[in-house]
Amino acid sequence: MLIKDLKINKLTTSNQKALTPLRPPDRRGSSAFALPVVLWTIAFLAGLIMLVVGSVNSWLDEEGHAERVFRARQMALSGLAIAMDKNIQADDPILTKGDPKSREGESYSVEIGNEAGLINPNYLIMPSKRPLFQQLFQNWGVSEKDQESAIDGLYDWISPTELTSPHGAKRAEYEAQGKEGFPPNSLFLDAREMAMVIGFGPVMKAKPTWRNYFSTFNPGRINILTCGANILVDVLGITPEQADAWVKLITGANSASGKEPPHISNIDDVADLIGVTAAQRTMMHQYFRLTGDIRHIDSKGTCNGVSHHIIVVMTDGPKGFLLKWQEE
């Protein structure tokens, strides 16, 4: 009996030990460590997502801008293709499509000019053309002293010798200003090079739009049938009213309106129509002619606020030889 009770007691004690619940481990330390890790991970992921989103948006913006630039160039090329047709006149409505001023949608607008109506700065290689530049600069309000410096400077730029004109500048003067290798002692390749000539600064200051008067692509005298009123006023010294009346007469005859052109067979016919003085008539014979056609095309394409310019200069003969192609 005692043995049986003893076994029961042992069994009961053993069962009690087995049934005693285990204490859970203390997790307060682990929780305190895990919380910053979780927060840091969330912050890292949030930053990573924002970085990815920003990169994607930037990429999309770049792709969108590149596409607009491409489309703007395509529109400029479309306008250029139309303007290169010799039968298209400067006032033809086909030279404009859409609204170039709008920042939405696509458009092109083309301006056609004629560089045969501009002054070739390389004329100065011939001393007989010097009075033309004197007259021009004088009408721009340039002092006589500055006129001499500008004209001699232009001549020394294109003169093939190392001899310096009385008011000009050659290699030593250019090197003193840090312009190594100038002047080239050769003809101007582009009228923009005139801005680099020592002594030409006062002219540019007196006439900020001087660039609109010159072109190196005109091989001869100024075509009086295509030049602007500004050339006639500043070179010949006629009144703005006379110049405007002449330009309207000629552009009307050359436009798409179909107006009959006036009968002109020589420079004297032009002089009679304009009503110039004897001195002005002499200048017309010296510096102007009735021939020459160098087409200048400025085509601007737009696409949703992005614009692209293509400037082309070409001969206006049967084949239309390309002289210049510039994009900006």
pLDDT tens track of the chain, all 328 residues? 444 454 445 445 545 544 455 555 555 555 566 767 777 788 778 777 877 776 666 666 666 788 999 999 999 999 999 999 988 988 899 999 999 888 899 999 999 999 999 999 998 888 888 999 999 999 999 999 999 999 999 999 999 999 999 999 999 999 999 999 999 999 999 999 999 999 999 999 999 999 999 999 998 899 999 999 999 999 999 999 999 999 999 887 555 555 666 789 999 999 999 999 999 999 999 999 999 999 999 999 999 999 999 999 998 776 778 999 999 8
Tell me if 311 sits within 8 A of 326, measured CB to CB.
Answer: yes
Residues 6+ away with beta carbon under 8 Å from 182: 157, 171, 174, 196
d(CA 201, CA 179): 15
Give the orientation angle of helix 267-274 with respect to helix 278-287, to 10 degrees: 140
d(CA 160, CA 305): 48
Whole-number Cα distances in Å, 121 to 102, 222, 277: 38, 12, 26
Q: 144's torsion region: left (phi>0), alpha (psi -120 to 50) or beta?
A: alpha
d(CA 313, CA 326): 9
Tokens 């602007």, residue? 228
Q: What pLDDT was estimated at residue 316? A: 78
The whole-model pTM stands at 0.75
> What are the φ and ψ backbone dihedral angles of 51, each rounded to 5 degrees?
-65, -45
Domains along the sequence of the chain with CATH = 67-115+295-327 (no CATH), 121-214 (1.10.40.60)
d(CA 51, CA 310): 38
Q: What pLDDT was estimated at residue 235? A: 95
Q: What pLDDT was estimated at residue 31? A: 59
Q: What pLDDT was estimated at residue 267? A: 96
